[in-house]
């Protein structure tokens, strides 16, 4: 998917009053990101915890 789809979607969420974070992994497609996810999972969990509980890990 082109990067501008993700950045446009994030901007639309924020403009509509939502909270959104975009975690970019340069040079990785969806499949490679799944195999070598690095900090993406932790960043996603932290974001969800802040949204659901209002806390950080």
Coarse DSSP helix, strand, coil percentages of the chain, rounded to the nearest 5 percent? 55, 0, 45
Contacts of residue 55, defined as CB under 8 A and 6 or more positions apart, other chains included, come to 49
Contacts of residue 44, defined as CB under 8 A and 6 or more positions apart, other chains included, come to 23
And the tokens for 52? Answer: 């659901």
**pLDDT averaged over the chain?**
80
Residue 41: pLDDT over 60: yes
pLDDT score, position 29: 63
Give the three-state DSSP class for 53: coil
- Render pLDDT for 20-35 as a digit per residue (tens, 0 to 9): 988 877 666 666 655 6
């Amino acid at each position: 998917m082109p990067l501008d789809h993700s950045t446009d979607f994030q901007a639309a969420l924020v403009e509509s009053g939502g909270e959104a974070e975009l975690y970019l992994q340069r040079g990785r497609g969806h499949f490679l990101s799944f195999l070598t996810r690095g900090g993406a999972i932790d960043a996603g969990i932290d974001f969800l915890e802040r949204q659901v509980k209002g806390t950080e890990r």
